[in-house]
Amino acid sequence: MLQATQTLEWLIQQLGHTTDMVNKPLKSNQKEATLVFIKTLVDSDKIQQLIIKPFFEIETRGNFLDYLRSLPDGQEITSQEQVLSELTKGSVVVSMNNYLFMFDIRKVNTNMVPTTSLENTVLGPQSSLSEDIHTNINLIRSRYHQPTLTVEMLELGSKSIQTLAVIYDRELVDQTALEQIKYRLEQLRNKPLIQSTVELQRLINGRKVSLFPFFMITERVDRIVYNLSVGKIALSLDGDPSTIVAPAIFTDFMAAMDDKYHSKLYTKFVQIIRYVGLFITLLLPGFYVAATSYNPEILHTELALSVAGSRVGVPYPSYVEVTIMLIIMELLIEASIRLPKTISAAATTVGGLILGTAITEAALASNIMIIVVSAVAICNFSIPIGELNSAIRVLKYVFILFATIAGLAGLTFGLLAIVMYLTNSESYGEPYLKINIDLKSKGEQQ
C-alpha cells in the first residue's frame, strides 16, 4: 500500500513545474483532505458535485471515506508512476488520513471544437483548436500524456491583458530557445494591445525585415503534439484558435500532416511533388521573362517558335506582361479571401475565366502567359503552410526583377542569393535549411 503523504509530495514535486496543476486542501470540523489534479484536464463542476460538496455535507470522517470508496469512478492505485500517468489523463487524487483515492473525472472537449479549415487532411484527426485557451490546453494534454509537459501562464498587453500559455516538454525542450522566447515575451508586457497570434509572432520575431517565416502558426492539435514531442515550444494566446510553434525550419513548412498517415512511398512522392510545385511557382515567371527576352536559345527550337508566335501582337515586353497578369491573379486571390464564402468561389472562377478569355482575344497577353499564370497559381497552393505560401507569393516578383535585368544569369544569381541567405539564417539556434539525416527523427519534425 502506498504512503499517502509521501505519494502526494512526490506528485506535487513532479507536477510543480506546470501552472495548471492544482493542490487544493479541504478542511471542515475534524476532517482534512487534499485534492491534486490538472485543472485543464478535469471537469471542475463534477469535482465540486462529487467530492468537494459531499466533503462539507458529510459530518464524520469515516462516513466520507465510505462515500469515496462507493463512488463508481474510482480507480485502483498500484504505484506512484501509475498515479502520475493517470493525473496527466484527467484523474483526481484525494488524500485523507493516509488513504489515497483516485477518480477519473476527465473533461472531454473533442465534440465542442471546430474542424480544421486551413490545414485540411484526407486522413487523421479533423478537429482544430478553439478560441478558449483552457480548451486548447485540454486538447493538447489529451493527446500528450507526459508528466513532463509544462504549461506556463503569462499575461500580455497593458490594456487587453491577454493570457498566453507557453507549452513545452521540460525534458526535451532546448533551454536556450526557451529562454530567448521568454525574454522576448517579457518585453511585451507593457504593449497596449495584442489581439492575435499572428501579431504576437511579428512582435517576437526579432527581425525588422523578414519575408520568410521563422515561426509556424498552426490550428491542428496533432501537429502541435508532434512538435512538442521533439522539443519545440508552443505559444497559445487566449481568444485565438491558432498556436505558434518555435523554432521552425524550412522543411517544417513543406510538411503536411497527411505525411504522417499515408504510406512512406506515397508520402515521398507527394513531398517531391510539393517541392517541384515550389520551384515552379517561384521560378517559372522569371524563366518566362528570361527565355522570351534574353535567352531564347535555352528552349527547343519548336517551343521557342511557339512562344514567339503566341506573343505576336502583344504591345509590351514580356516582363510587363508577366507583372500585369500576376497582379490580376493576386487580385483574384485577394477577392476570394475577402468575399463571403458563399459567393467567393463562383465570383473569382467566373471573373478569372472572363478576364483570361478577354485578355487573350484582345492580344494584351499571350496564350502561353495564361498557362504560366495558371501553373503558378496552382503550384503556389500546393505549399501546406500559409506563412511560406505568402512569402513565395511576394518572392517571385524579386526573381522577375532579376530576370528582367540580366535574363537567365540574373535568375540564377537570385536563386543563389536566396539560398545563401537562408543558409545563414537560424530560428532560435536551429539552422533554417537544416537537413535531417536520421529519417526516423525527421518524421517527427512537422
Measured between alpha carbons, how far is 206 from 209 in angstroms, rounded to an integer?
A: 9
Report which of 134, 106, 118, 132 is spatially closest to residue 46, judged by C-alpha positions.
Answer: 106
Give yes or no for a contact between 77 and 68, defined as CB atoms under 8 angstroms apart: no
**Cut 0.75: pTM above it:** yes
Q: What is the pLDDT of residues 215-234, one digit of tens each?
A: 899 988 889 999 999 999 99
Give yes or no for a contact between 114 and 241, defined as CB atoms under 8 angstroms apart: yes
Instruction: Measure Cα distances from 346 to 229, 331, 335, 341 in Å.
Output: 42, 15, 11, 9
Measured between alpha carbons, how far is 26 from 168 in angstroms, rounded to an integer?
A: 31
Report which of 13, 88, 26, 92 is spatially closest to residue 54, judged by C-alpha positions.
Answer: 26
Report which of 144, 163, 162 is spatially closest to residue 152, judged by C-alpha positions.
Answer: 163
Measured between alpha carbons, how far is 101 from 34 in angstroms, rounded to an integer?
A: 10
What angle do helix axes 367-380 and 301-310 make, rounded to 10 degrees?
A: 100
58 burial type by CB count under 10 A (0-12 exposed, 13-18 middle, 19+ buried): middle
Place of cell 517561384: 282
Measured between alpha carbons, how far is 132 from 125 in angstroms, rounded to an integer?
A: 19
Instruction: Measure Cα distances from 106 to 7, 81, 200, 348 in Å.
Output: 21, 18, 31, 46
Residue type, 409: A
Burial 375-396 (b: 16+ CB within 10 A, else e): ebbebbebbbbbbbbebbbebb
Give yes or no for a contact between 171 and 148, defined as CB atoms under 8 angstroms apart: yes
Walking along the chain (446 residues) 10 residues at a time, the average pLDDT comes out as 78 86 86 89 89 88 88 84 88 88 81 72 80 87 89 83 89 90 85 85 79 88 91 91 90 87 89 93 92 84 82 84 88 80 71 77 83 89 87 92 91 92 87 64 42
Q: What is the pLDDT of residues 281-330, one digit of tens each?
A: 999 999 999 988 888 888 888 888 888 887 888 888 888 989 988 998 88
Measured between alpha carbons, how far is 432 from 133 in angstroms, rounded to an integer?
A: 30
Residue type, 268: K
Q: Which residues contact 112 (CB under 8 A, 6 or more apart)?
A: 130, 135
Instruction: State the cell numbers at 290.
Output: 528570361
Instruction: Measure Cα distances from 411 to 255, 290, 295, 423 in Å.
Output: 27, 8, 11, 18
